[in-house]
C-alpha cells in the first residue's frame, strides 16, 4: 500500500508495554481485552489522532495477541491490515485470515474476536453510528429501525474505488497544523458517504422523489420495501408531506392509517409465502421476524384476525 495512513507526527507509544497501549485504546478507540503469550517481551506501537467525530489509529502489538470485545453498540470499526496477518472469528464457525490490503468492517452489534500475528500492523477508524445516521437522514434513505448494518464485513481495498486515497487525505488533514474543525467534520461525512456508496448495507436508497407523492406511488414504495421498518413519520418525510397530510391520503384511499396499512401488507406477504410451496420457509418465526414482527404472540393474533387461521395452519396446508 502506498498510503502511509498516519505518520510519526501522530506517535503516542513506541516500543511500549502492550497493556499500556491497550489501556489507551480502551479510552479512545473502543473497549476490548488483549491476551498475550506468557513468554517474550513484545513491544507495541501506536499512532493516534482524534479527527472530528472519528478516531484514527495505527497499531501494532509486536507479538501474537488475541483481541476480544463484546458488541461495540454505538461504533463502527474499519480495520485495514497493513502488515502481517490477522485471524477473524465470526458467528458460528466463521473464520478468515486477513492479509495486507484487506479491510475488515465491524458493525456495532458484532462481537470482536481477532488474533494478530507477531508482525501484524493495522490502521483503524472508529466511526460513531451518529455519523452514518446523519448521512442517511440527509439523503432521505430508509433503513430498518434497529439501525444501519453493513451486510459484508470483508473487502479488498483495491475494489473500493478511491477509498484508500480518501483515507490518506483524511490522515494528512488530521496531521495538518491548521486543520479546521468544520473541514474535519466534512471529511467525516465524506468517509461515511463513501462507505455507504461502496459497501452493501440494509438501507433503501429509492426515495419517493421531490414531486407530490400520489397514494399509488407510496403504496408501491411500501410494497417494494416490506422488510424494512417503515414508520409513518419516515414515510411522510420520504413523501415530502406533513404527517397530517399522509394520514388524510391513507384515509381517503385505503380507509385506514399508514401503520395499519403497512402491517396489513406485511401480513399479506407472509401469508403468500406460507401458502406458496415454491417459497422456501424454514419456520414461521423466522419468516415473521424477516418482516419485522418481533412480538410473535401479537403477530399470530393479527394474522388470525386477518386470515381466519394461525400462520402454522397455513404452512401445514401447503404440504
16 φ, ψ (degrees, to nearest 5):
-110, 170
Mean of pLDDT over the chain:
90
Q: Which of 50-59, 197-206, 305-314 has the highest mean pLDDT?
A: 50-59
- DSSP secondary structure of 113-171: EEEE-TT-EEEEEEEEHHHHHHHHHHHT-B--TT---BS--EEEGGGSTTHHHHHHHHH
Q: pTM higher than 0.75 for the full model? A: no
- Predicted confidence at residue 214, as pLDDT, reads 79
- Predicted confidence at residue 210, as pLDDT, reads 46
143 pLDDT band, cuts 50/70/90, is confident
pLDDT of 2-40, one tens digit each?
567 999 999 999 999 999 999 999 998 888 999 998 888
What is the SS3 assignment for 24? helix
Average pLDDT over residues 131-140: 86
pLDDT over threshold 60, residue 212: no
Name the grid cell of 274: 406460507
CA 188, CA 194: separation in Å to the nearest integer? Answer: 10
- Predicted confidence at residue 208, as pLDDT, reads 67
- Predicted confidence at residue 137, as pLDDT, reads 80
Average pLDDT over residues 215-227: 87
Percent of the chain exceeding pLDDT 90 equals 62
Domains of the chain: 8-198 (2.60.120.280), 215-317 (1.10.10.60)
pLDDT of 258-282, one tens digit each?
999 999 999 999 998 888 877 777 7
Average pLDDT over residues 302-308: 91
CA 239, CA 210: separation in Å to the nearest integer? Answer: 8
Amino acid at each position: 500500500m502506498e498510503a502511509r495512513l498516519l505518520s510519526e507526527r501522530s506517535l503516542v507509544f513506541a516500543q511500549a508495554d502492550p497493556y499500556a497501549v491497550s489501556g489507551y485504546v480502551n479510552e479512545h478507540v473502543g473497549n476490548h481485552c488483549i491476551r498475550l503469550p506468557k513468554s517474550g517481551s513484545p513491544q507495541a506501537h501506536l499512532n493516534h489522532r482524534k479527527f472530528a467525530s472519528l478516531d484514527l489509529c495505527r497499531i501494532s502489538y509486536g507479538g501474537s495477541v488475541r483481541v476480544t470485545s463484546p458488541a461495540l453498540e454505538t461504533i463502527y470499526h474499519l480495520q485495514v491490515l497493513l502488515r502481517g496477518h490477522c485471524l477473524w472469528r465470526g458467528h458460528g464457525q466463521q473464520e478468515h485470515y486477513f492479509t495486507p490490503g484487506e479491510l475488515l468492517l465491524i458493525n456495532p452489534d458484532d462481537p470482536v474476536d481477532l488474533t494478530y500475528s507477531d508482525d501484524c500492523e493495522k490502521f483503524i477508524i472508529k466511526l460513531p453510528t451518529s455519523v452514518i445516521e446523519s448521512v442517511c437522514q440527509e439523503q432521505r434513505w430508509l433503513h430498518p429501525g434497529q439501525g444501519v448494518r453493513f451486510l459484508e464485513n470483508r473487502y479488498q481495498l483495491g475494489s473500493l474505488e478511491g477509498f484508500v486515497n480518501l483515507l490518506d487525505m483524511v490522515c494528512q488533514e488530521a496531521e495538518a497544523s491548521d486543520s479546521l474543525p468544520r473541514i474535519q467534520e466534512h471529511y467525516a461525512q465524506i468517509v461515511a458517504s463513501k462507505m455507504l456508496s461502496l459497501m452493501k448495507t440494509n438501507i433503501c436508497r429509492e426515495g419517493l422523489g421531490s414531486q407530490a407523492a400520489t397514494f399509488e406511488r407510496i403504496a408501491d414504495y411500501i410494497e417494494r420495501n416490506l422488510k424494512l421498518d417503515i414508520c409513518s413519520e419516515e414515510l411522510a418525510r420520504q413523501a415530502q408531506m406533513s404527517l397530517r397530510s399522509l394520514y388524510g391520503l391513507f384515509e381517503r384511499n385505503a380507509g385506514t392509517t399508514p401503520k395499519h396499512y403497512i402491517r396489513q401488507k406485511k401480513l399479506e406477504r407472509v401469508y403468500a409465502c406460507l401458502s406458496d410451496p415454491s417459497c422456501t420457509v424454514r419456520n414461521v418465526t423466522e419468516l415473521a421476524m424477516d418482516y419485522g414482527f418481533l412480538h410473535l404472540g401479537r403477530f399470530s393474533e393479527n394474522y388470525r384476525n386477518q386470515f381466519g387461521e394461525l400462520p402454522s395452519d397455513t404452512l401445514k396446508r401447503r404440504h
